[in-house]
Amino acid sequence: MIQNRNGLSRQDRISRVVKYERLFDEALAGHDPENLRLLEIYYTSGDWLDDYEADERGELPPDLKRGVLSQDALYDLLSDQ
């Protein structure tokens, strides 16, 4: 299994982005407090930045839904709460 510089395989990173993309979509739809809490942990833990930088390096598939990795969307959602 190929791992990146942070020890996370490509598939594990994709799975993580998919997970937080689902939470992001659900939070946008209903502002579920638990989803917001999990998204805040993701955003502040360094995992979000790691995934964002991997996306910038082209390490994520181009067809992967990645709204959670936009520079402003997640921050705006969390700061609005």
Residue 28, domain member (yes or no): yes
Report if residue 38 sits inside a domain: yes
Query: pLDDT of 42-77, one tens digit each?
Result: 999 999 999 999 999 999 999 999 999 998 999 999
10 and 59 in contact (C-beta within 8 Å)? yes
In a domain, 2, yes or no: no
Q: Is residue 1 part of a domain?
A: no
Report yes or no on 3 lying in a domain. no
Residue 66 domain boundaries: 10-80
Mean pLDDT of 11-38: 94
Domain count, the chain: 1
Helices (H), 31-80: 33-45, 47-56, 73-80
